[in-house]
Amino acid sequence: MNGAGPDTGNGTGGGSSRGSHGTGTASGSGPGGGTSGGTSGGTGAGRAAGPVAGLPAAPGPGTAFTPPEGIPQVVLPPDDAHWQDRMRAIVRLPATERPVPRVPPARAESGPGVAVPRVLDLTLRIGELLLAGGEGAEDVEAAMFGVAYAYGLARVEPAVTFTLLGISYQPSLTEPPLTMSRTVRRRGTDYTRLAAVFALVGAITEHEVTLEDAYRRLAGIRRNRHPYDSWALTGAAGLLAGAASTLVGGGPIIFVAAALAAMLGDRLAWLLAGRGLPEFYQFAAAAMPAAAMGVVVDRYGHWIPGANGVQSSAVITGGLFALLPGRALVAAVQDGLTGFYITASARLLEVIYLVVGIVIGVTLILYAGVSLGADLDPDQALRAYDHPWVQLVAAMVVTLAFAVLLQCERSVLPLATLNGGVAWTVYGVLHQRAGGNQVAATAAAAGLVGLFGQLLARYRYGSVLPYVTPAIGPLLPGSATYFGLLAITQHHTDQGFTQLTKAAALALAIAVGVNLGNEIARLALKRPGAEPPRKAAKRTRGF
């Protein structure tokens, strides 16, 4: 029905209906509105004077009055906010409530019917690189929506799973949707490439590049070589294992032994990868040299200066530090906490397979070592190390080596190393000095890693992964995993499962702590979302 009236006192309700017109009166004050397909809606607060043929006698609850709790206002972030914040805020809105994209006139270089398939293809290719690089499903979805939205496609719905990306675009409610998908077949960790893709998404959402320029930049990102070659990665793996052995009490000789074992395991993994074998066998093969070196040190340690007895445990522990899939575990927990349960389940299953491969490789060598007379004692703790400054340096070296293995940019290495040093300092103070619970200390340290990593990523407008993933390296439960496997090997099943349960608890504490730190950082920053509801007018509240 159509009509007009003043804002206060008695007025005439205003609205629209399909195929019918009528007039009604309304009483009350304050502006208001409501629409309903096929029925009438009122302006102001009140009720219709009488029924009209073909229309309901009165509007339903919630349409004629402002609700007592008010009308929620969704406030989008400013244009200078990080693109992740802007896109998360928009993608969480229903498709009918999303604001119309603001596309510069220069973007209208071709007809929308021609550009839509290319925009969707570009969106899928960018999402593929992000997901293959280890980015969380929520950030991949936000990036895909941001690219499509920047090129004028508002009615898009991205879908992200562990191995399949999809996107659907519907031009209008009366037209059929256009759907495209892409399978993620190859995965590789290259955080330099990940940073370049983040920069490209930022440029696209800021309307700085055309569609053709975006394709050219994406092709250049794909062609770029890794910043570190395979031998540099092998050296980093050795450095990581040696520093990790020092972290748990190993001396210089043990440092060299752990480094050599890790480098040999890394080359074995490269050989199997070149033959096309799955990662399960690569991890099993890479775990064997470290366990074998530990058996050799224990069996013949009296011939090696400074390598006596207890330090054989440090060799195997250092090798496990280089293999435990902490990155995949953090991503699995993050996807689960953000509601992507299918992707989280797939990532968690991947972690389980990789850990089982490590368990098989280490256990086979330990069985062989015990049968050859190696005296590996599961009750033997790692030597108490009362040199916190040496451990701090070792933790920072572990973080640096992890960053190189993850192909981080050189400019990121100092910041990631510093973050790892802070994490170990917090852990050492809470657990080793204050005598606190190890799981709680690990969670607190991981929380600071996530907090500082998120702040650094916001400051540099990049991904949070290069600052977080290497920094959790010193916190990984390498020693608990080793002692659990050793106890099972020597038929101390209860003790072994206790140690493995402790390792799982530590790993989960790392993952949850990192995610909690990220969320705390987002809370501290101005984040878009629903503001407190706008209160109803006083004379209409409750009526």
| Same domain for 351 and 419 | yes
Has residue 449 been placed in a domain?
yes
Please count the other Cβ atoms lying within 10 Å of the Cβ belonging to residue 433. Answer: 9
- Tens-digit pLDDT profile for residues 207-261: 888 899 999 999 999 888 888 988 999 999 999 999 998 888 777 888 998 999 9
- Classify 376 as helix, strand or coil: coil
Has residue 57 been placed in a domain?
no
- Tens-digit pLDDT profile for residues 7-47: 444 444 444 434 444 444 434 444 334 443 444 444 433 44
| Same domain for 203 and 334 | no
| Same domain for 455 and 340 | yes
- The whole-angstrom distance between residue 305's C-alpha and the CA centroid of its chain comes to 45
Has residue 496 been placed in a domain?
yes
Please count the other Cβ atoms lying within 10 Å of the Cβ belonging to residue 427. Answer: 23
Q: Residues 6 or more apart from 342 whose CB is under 8 A from it?
A: 161, 162
Element of type H or E holding 299: helix 279-300
| Same domain for 253 and 154 | no
The alpha carbon torsion through 233, 237, 240, 246 (nearest 10 deg) reads -140
Pick from 70, 100, 128: which residue ends a domain? 70
For the chain, the domain total comes to 3
| Same domain for 356 and 208 | no
Lowest mean pLDDT among 12-26, 303-317, 351-365: 12-26
Has residue 34 been placed in a domain?
yes
Distance spanning both ends of the chain, measured CA to CA: 23
| Same domain for 332 and 196 | no
Confidence band for 370, pLDDT divided at 50, 70 and 90: confident
Query: Per the structure block, which two tokens stand in for 531?
Result: 């503001």
Domain of 405, in residue numbers: 230-524
Contact 369, 298 (CB under 8 A): yes
Has residue 531 been placed in a domain?
no
Q: Please name the residue that has the structure tokens 């170990």.
A: 424
Contact 529, 89 (CB under 8 A): yes
| Same domain for 130 and 19 | no
Confidence band for 338, pLDDT divided at 50, 70 and 90: confident
| Same domain for 216 and 260 | no
User: CA-to-CA distance for 8 and 409, rounded, in angstroms?
Assistant: 64
Q: What is the pLDDT, as a whole number, of residue 476?
A: 87
Has residue 58 been placed in a domain?
no
Q: Please name the residue that has the structure tokens 């099993």.
A: 284
| Same domain for 236 and 145 | no
